Amino acid sequence: MQQRKVRVAAALLMAVSLSASAADLNAGKARSAACAGCHGAKGISVAPAYPNLAGQKAAYLEKQLKAFKAGTRKDPVMESMAKPLSETDIANLAAYFASL
């Protein structure tokens, strides 16, 4: 009985923490306007040189944006696009493109 209570409490704590940190898809969509020039309005690239973002895993997109922002992944255009993004912006953009 005690183990069940612990599991229920852990599940509730996880649900609360996930919902508290859940990304805002509408904010991500609004912020994605700057991405559309190369990656397309719906995350499908307009040219073969640019990757599709639609349907990519959010964790992957977050990792890449953070790397561009930090300068550990090099691309002058993406570095300048990622630099002004906050952690929240990055999470919202990643969630939005992953949802497409």
Do residues 74 and 86 lie in contact, with contact meaning Cβ atoms separated by under 8 Å? no
* Tally of structural domains, the chain: 1
Candidates 77, 95, 100, 75; CA nearest to 31 is 95
What is the C-alpha to C-alpha distance for residues 90 and 12, in angstroms, rounded to an integer?
Answer: 26
Chain CA centroid to CA 44, Å: 16
Residue 18 lies in a domain: no
Q: What is the amino acid identity at position 51?
A: P
Q: pLDDT for 82-94, tens place per residue?
A: 999 999 999 999 9
80 is in which domain, residue-wise? 24-99
Determine whether 54 is exposed, middle or buried from the number of CB atoms within 10 Å of its CB (0-12, 13-18, 19+).
middle
Q: pLDDT for 29-65, tens place per residue?
A: 999 999 999 999 999 998 999 999 999 999 999 999 9
Query: Residue 12 has what pLDDT?
Result: 47
Residue 9 lies in a domain: no
Q: pLDDT for 3-32, tens place per residue?
A: 665 565 555 445 433 433 589 999 999 999
